[in-house]
Protein backbone atom coordinates (compact mmCIF):
# COMPACT_ATOMS: atom_id res chain seq x y z
CA UNK A 1 0.00 0.00 0.00
CA UNK A 2 1.01 3.61 -0.52
CA UNK A 3 1.21 4.30 3.22
CA UNK A 4 3.78 1.52 3.58
CA UNK A 5 6.23 3.73 1.71
CA UNK A 6 6.13 6.46 4.39
CA UNK A 7 9.34 6.74 6.41
CA UNK A 8 12.81 5.25 6.11
CA UNK A 9 13.94 8.38 4.29
CA UNK A 10 17.62 8.91 3.39
CA UNK A 11 20.07 10.40 5.86
CA UNK A 12 22.95 12.09 4.03
CA UNK A 13 26.03 13.91 5.24
CA UNK A 14 26.66 17.50 4.16
CA UNK A 15 29.93 17.59 2.25
CA UNK A 16 30.62 21.23 1.40
CA UNK A 17 28.57 23.66 3.49
CA UNK A 18 30.62 23.17 6.64
CA UNK A 19 33.98 23.11 4.89
CA UNK A 20 36.45 25.45 6.59
CA UNK A 21 34.05 26.06 9.47
CA UNK A 22 33.79 22.68 11.17
CA UNK A 23 36.50 20.68 12.91
CA UNK A 24 37.59 17.35 11.46
CA UNK A 25 35.69 15.30 14.05
CA UNK A 26 32.32 16.97 13.44
CA UNK A 27 29.69 15.68 11.02
CA UNK A 28 26.37 17.25 9.96
CA UNK A 29 23.72 14.94 8.54
CA UNK A 30 20.33 15.83 7.04
CA UNK A 31 17.27 13.58 6.74
CA UNK A 32 15.56 14.08 3.37
CA UNK A 33 11.84 13.95 4.09
CA UNK A 34 10.97 14.89 0.51
CA UNK A 35 11.48 11.18 -0.25
CA UNK A 36 8.16 10.38 1.44
CA UNK A 37 5.40 9.62 -1.09
CA UNK A 38 3.60 12.88 -0.31
CA UNK A 39 6.84 14.84 -0.45
CA UNK A 40 7.26 15.92 3.17
CA UNK A 41 7.81 14.93 6.78
CA UNK A 42 4.09 15.53 7.36
CA UNK A 43 3.27 12.19 5.73
CA UNK A 44 4.37 10.59 9.00
CA UNK A 45 2.07 12.61 11.25
CA UNK A 46 -0.86 12.62 8.81
CA UNK A 47 -0.83 8.83 8.49
CA UNK A 48 -0.42 8.38 12.25
CA UNK A 49 -3.40 10.67 12.92
CA UNK A 50 -5.63 9.10 10.27
CA UNK A 51 -4.67 5.56 11.25
CA UNK A 52 -5.57 6.30 14.88
CA UNK A 53 -8.96 7.68 13.80
CA UNK A 54 -9.63 4.64 11.62
CA UNK A 55 -8.66 2.22 14.38
CA UNK A 56 -10.91 4.05 16.84
CA UNK A 57 -13.87 3.71 14.45
CA UNK A 58 -14.27 7.49 14.19
CA UNK A 59 -14.60 7.64 10.40
CA UNK A 60 -18.00 6.68 9.01
CA UNK A 61 -19.51 6.91 5.51
CA UNK A 62 -20.71 10.51 6.09
CA UNK A 63 -17.62 11.74 7.92
CA UNK A 64 -15.76 14.75 6.56
CA UNK A 65 -12.21 14.93 7.87
CA UNK A 66 -11.22 18.46 8.88
CA UNK A 67 -8.03 20.21 9.87
CA UNK A 68 -5.99 23.35 9.32
CA UNK A 69 -2.58 23.49 7.67
CA UNK A 70 -0.08 25.85 6.13
CA UNK A 71 0.30 23.30 3.34
CA UNK A 72 2.37 20.17 3.91
CA UNK A 73 0.13 18.39 6.41
CA UNK A 74 -2.84 19.19 4.21
CA UNK A 75 -1.12 17.69 1.19
CA UNK A 76 -0.24 14.59 3.20
CA UNK A 77 -3.82 14.30 4.44
CA UNK A 78 -5.04 14.76 0.86
CA UNK A 79 -2.84 12.00 -0.50
CA UNK A 80 -3.77 9.53 2.24
CA UNK A 81 -7.47 10.44 2.30
CA UNK A 82 -7.67 9.86 -1.45
CA UNK A 83 -5.95 6.50 -1.10
CA UNK A 84 -8.23 5.47 1.80
CA UNK A 85 -11.48 6.77 0.31
CA UNK A 86 -12.09 9.56 2.85
CA UNK A 87 -13.45 13.08 2.29
CA UNK A 88 -11.30 15.97 3.49
CA UNK A 89 -11.85 19.66 4.16
CA UNK A 90 -8.86 21.85 4.91
CA UNK A 91 -8.55 25.39 6.25
CA UNK A 92 -5.54 27.05 4.59
CA UNK A 93 -4.24 30.65 4.73
CA UNK A 94 -5.18 32.41 1.49
CA UNK A 95 -1.55 33.43 0.87
CA UNK A 96 -0.31 29.82 0.69
CA UNK A 97 1.72 29.47 -2.48
CA UNK A 98 0.47 28.31 -5.85
CA UNK A 99 2.16 24.90 -5.78
CA UNK A 100 0.47 23.92 -2.52
CA UNK A 101 -3.00 24.99 -3.60
CA UNK A 102 -2.68 23.09 -6.87
CA UNK A 103 -1.51 19.93 -5.08
CA UNK A 104 -4.43 20.08 -2.66
CA UNK A 105 -6.93 20.48 -5.45
CA UNK A 106 -5.28 17.66 -7.42
CA UNK A 107 -6.03 15.34 -4.49
CA UNK A 108 -9.65 16.54 -4.40
CA UNK A 109 -9.39 18.42 -1.11
CA UNK A 110 -12.16 20.91 -0.24
CA UNK A 111 -10.02 23.97 0.54
CA UNK A 112 -11.38 26.75 2.78
CA UNK A 113 -9.13 29.79 2.42
CA UNK A 114 -8.64 31.88 5.56
CA UNK A 115 -7.39 35.38 6.36
CA UNK A 116 -3.75 35.61 5.20
CA UNK A 117 -2.95 38.18 7.88
CA UNK A 118 -3.85 35.66 10.59
CA UNK A 119 -1.56 32.96 9.19
CA UNK A 120 -1.75 29.42 10.54
CA UNK A 121 -3.45 30.59 13.76
CA UNK A 122 -6.33 31.99 11.71
CA UNK A 123 -6.67 28.69 9.89
CA UNK A 124 -6.83 26.88 13.25
CA UNK A 125 -9.61 29.17 14.47
CA UNK A 126 -11.56 28.66 11.22
CA UNK A 127 -11.27 24.87 11.52
CA UNK A 128 -12.49 24.96 15.12
CA UNK A 129 -15.49 27.03 14.08
CA UNK A 130 -16.39 24.62 11.27
CA UNK A 131 -16.04 21.65 13.61
CA UNK A 132 -18.45 23.27 16.09
CA UNK A 133 -20.99 24.09 13.35
CA UNK A 134 -21.27 20.71 11.62
CA UNK A 135 -21.20 17.35 13.46
CA UNK A 136 -20.24 15.54 10.25
CA UNK A 137 -16.73 16.93 10.66
CA UNK A 138 -14.05 14.94 12.42
CA UNK A 139 -11.59 17.58 13.55
CA UNK A 140 -8.16 15.93 13.42
CA UNK A 141 -6.36 18.85 15.14
CA UNK A 142 -2.74 18.14 14.31
CA UNK A 143 -1.58 20.72 16.88
CA UNK A 144 -3.17 18.85 19.79
CA UNK A 145 -3.31 15.27 18.55
CA UNK A 146 -0.82 12.99 20.34
CA UNK A 147 -0.68 10.77 17.25
CA UNK A 148 1.36 13.61 15.71
CA UNK A 149 4.35 13.31 18.01
CA UNK A 150 3.96 9.55 18.31
CA UNK A 151 4.64 9.22 14.58
CA UNK A 152 8.14 10.56 15.18
CA UNK A 153 8.64 8.67 18.42
CA UNK A 154 7.90 5.46 16.55
CA UNK A 155 9.70 6.21 13.25
CA UNK A 156 11.88 9.31 12.90
CA UNK A 157 13.78 8.89 16.16
CA UNK A 158 14.46 5.16 15.74
CA UNK A 159 15.55 5.74 12.12
CA UNK A 160 18.08 8.39 13.20
CA UNK A 161 19.41 6.12 15.94
CA UNK A 162 19.69 3.19 13.52
CA UNK A 163 21.24 5.13 10.63
CA UNK A 164 23.90 6.78 12.81
CA UNK A 165 24.62 3.44 14.55
CA UNK A 166 23.77 5.15 17.83
CA UNK A 167 26.44 7.80 17.33
CA UNK A 168 24.14 10.84 17.11
CA UNK A 169 25.15 13.48 19.66
CA UNK A 170 22.89 16.41 18.68
CA UNK A 171 19.37 16.53 17.25
CA UNK A 172 18.24 19.82 15.70
CA UNK A 173 14.69 20.52 14.48
CA UNK A 174 12.42 23.43 13.63
CA UNK A 175 9.16 24.04 15.46
CA UNK A 176 5.83 24.14 13.64
CA UNK A 177 3.26 21.83 15.17
CA UNK A 178 6.31 20.75 17.27
CA UNK A 179 5.50 17.07 16.66
CA UNK A 180 8.76 16.26 14.86
CA UNK A 181 10.88 17.75 17.63
CA UNK A 182 8.85 16.32 20.51
CA UNK A 183 8.49 12.75 19.28
CA UNK A 184 12.02 12.41 17.93
CA UNK A 185 13.55 13.94 21.06
CA UNK A 186 11.66 11.53 23.30
CA UNK A 187 12.82 8.56 21.25
CA UNK A 188 16.46 9.65 21.15
CA UNK A 189 16.64 10.53 24.84
CA UNK A 190 15.19 7.13 25.64
CA UNK A 191 18.12 5.58 23.77
CA UNK A 192 20.71 7.97 25.19
CA UNK A 193 19.81 10.76 27.64
CA UNK A 194 23.02 12.57 26.67
CA UNK A 195 21.74 13.40 23.16
CA UNK A 196 21.35 17.19 23.00
CA UNK A 197 18.02 18.30 21.54
CA UNK A 198 18.03 21.74 19.93
CA UNK A 199 14.74 23.49 19.07
CA UNK A 200 14.69 26.07 16.29
CA UNK A 201 12.12 28.79 15.65
CA UNK A 202 12.14 32.07 13.71
CA UNK A 203 13.81 35.02 15.38
CA UNK A 204 10.78 37.31 14.99
CA UNK A 205 6.97 37.12 14.77
CA UNK A 206 7.03 38.32 11.15
CA UNK A 207 9.39 36.11 9.20
CA UNK A 208 9.80 34.29 5.89
CA UNK A 209 10.34 30.76 7.17
CA UNK A 210 7.19 29.00 5.99
CA UNK A 211 6.17 26.06 8.13
CA UNK A 212 7.81 27.34 11.33
CA UNK A 213 6.12 29.04 14.28
CA UNK A 214 7.41 31.88 16.45
CA UNK A 215 5.96 30.39 19.62
CA UNK A 216 6.09 33.51 21.84
CA UNK A 217 3.69 35.29 19.47
CA UNK A 218 1.59 32.32 18.27
CA UNK A 219 -0.94 29.81 19.55
CA UNK A 220 1.26 27.23 21.27
CA UNK A 221 0.45 23.63 20.21
CA UNK A 222 -0.95 21.48 23.01
CA UNK A 223 1.55 18.73 22.18
CA UNK A 224 4.53 21.03 22.80
CA UNK A 225 6.85 19.86 25.60
CA UNK A 226 9.51 22.47 26.48
CA UNK A 227 11.16 20.14 29.01
CA UNK A 228 12.77 18.30 26.08
CA UNK A 229 14.71 21.39 24.94
CA UNK A 230 18.41 21.40 25.80
CA UNK A 231 19.01 24.50 23.70
CA UNK A 232 16.81 26.93 21.77
CA UNK A 233 17.99 28.80 18.69
CA UNK A 234 16.31 31.66 16.82
CA UNK A 235 16.84 31.40 13.07
CA UNK A 236 17.12 34.60 11.01
CA UNK A 237 15.16 34.61 7.76
CA UNK A 238 17.70 35.86 5.22
CA UNK A 239 20.65 33.65 6.29
CA UNK A 240 18.27 30.67 6.36
CA UNK A 241 17.00 31.40 2.85
CA UNK A 242 20.56 31.84 1.63
CA UNK A 243 21.29 28.35 2.93
CA UNK A 244 18.34 27.02 0.90
CA UNK A 245 20.07 28.36 -2.20
CA UNK A 246 23.47 27.03 -1.11
CA UNK A 247 22.03 23.58 -0.37
CA UNK A 248 20.86 23.41 -3.97
CA UNK A 249 24.01 24.78 -5.56
CA UNK A 250 26.67 23.25 -3.33
CA UNK A 251 25.11 20.01 -2.08
CA UNK A 252 22.57 19.23 -4.83
CA UNK A 253 19.76 19.19 -2.25
CA UNK A 254 16.59 21.12 -3.06
CA UNK A 255 14.90 22.07 0.23
CA UNK A 256 12.29 24.48 1.51
CA UNK A 257 12.68 27.50 3.83
CA UNK A 258 12.21 25.53 7.05
CA UNK A 259 15.01 23.22 5.89
CA UNK A 260 17.27 26.23 5.44
CA UNK A 261 16.56 27.28 9.02
CA UNK A 262 17.28 23.75 10.26
CA UNK A 263 20.64 23.68 8.46
CA UNK A 264 21.49 27.17 9.74
CA UNK A 265 20.94 25.93 13.29
CA UNK A 266 22.73 22.61 12.73
CA UNK A 267 25.82 24.44 11.44
CA UNK A 268 25.66 26.85 14.38
CA UNK A 269 25.67 23.92 16.80
CA UNK A 270 28.32 21.99 14.89
CA UNK A 271 30.69 24.97 14.67
CA UNK A 272 31.12 24.93 18.47
CA UNK A 273 32.02 21.25 18.73
CA UNK A 274 35.36 19.47 18.84
CA UNK A 275 33.65 16.23 17.81
CA UNK A 276 30.09 15.10 17.28
CA UNK A 277 27.34 13.90 14.96
CA UNK A 278 24.70 16.57 14.40
CA UNK A 279 21.47 15.50 12.67
CA UNK A 280 18.56 17.54 11.42
CA UNK A 281 15.57 17.05 9.16
CA UNK A 282 14.73 18.82 5.90
CA UNK A 283 10.93 18.78 6.12
CA UNK A 284 10.20 19.03 2.39
CA UNK A 285 11.66 19.66 -1.04
CA UNK A 286 12.20 22.95 -2.80
CA UNK A 287 9.91 22.14 -5.72
CA UNK A 288 7.02 23.55 -3.67
CA UNK A 289 8.65 26.98 -3.51
CA UNK A 290 9.98 27.59 -7.02
CA UNK A 291 7.35 30.26 -7.69
CA UNK A 292 8.56 32.36 -4.75
CA UNK A 293 10.65 35.19 -6.16
CA UNK A 294 12.10 36.20 -2.77
CA UNK A 295 13.61 32.74 -2.39
CA UNK A 296 14.86 32.33 -5.96
CA UNK A 297 15.69 35.89 -7.12
Report the alpha-carbon distance of residue 18 to residue 38 in Å, rounded: 30
Catalytic residue among 68, 70, 240, 258: 258
Instruction: For residues 3 and 7, give the distance between their C-alpha atoms in angstroms, rounded to a whole number.
Output: 9
Answer yes or no: 34 catalytic. Answer: no
The span from the CA of 38 to the CA of 80, in Å, is: 8
Vertex 208, ends 238 and 96: CA angle to 5°?
A: 150
In order of 11, 285, 295, 297, the CA distances from 270 in angstroms are 17, 23, 25, 29
Strand, coil or helix: what is 270?
helix
What DSSP designation does 25 have?
A: E
Is 144 a known active-site residue? no
Q: Reduced to 3 states, what is the DSSP secondary structure of residue 284?
A: strand
Catalytic residue among 34, 40, 42, 70: 42
**Catalytic annotation, residues:** 42, 258
Amino acid sequence: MLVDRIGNTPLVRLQRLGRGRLRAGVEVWVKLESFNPGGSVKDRAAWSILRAAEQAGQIGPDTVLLDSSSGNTGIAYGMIAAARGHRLRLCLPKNANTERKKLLRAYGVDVVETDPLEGSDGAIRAARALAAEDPRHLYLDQYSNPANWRAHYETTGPELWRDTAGCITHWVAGLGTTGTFVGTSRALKQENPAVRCVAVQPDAPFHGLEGLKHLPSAMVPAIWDPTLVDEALAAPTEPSLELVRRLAREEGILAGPSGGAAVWAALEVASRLEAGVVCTVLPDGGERYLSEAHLWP
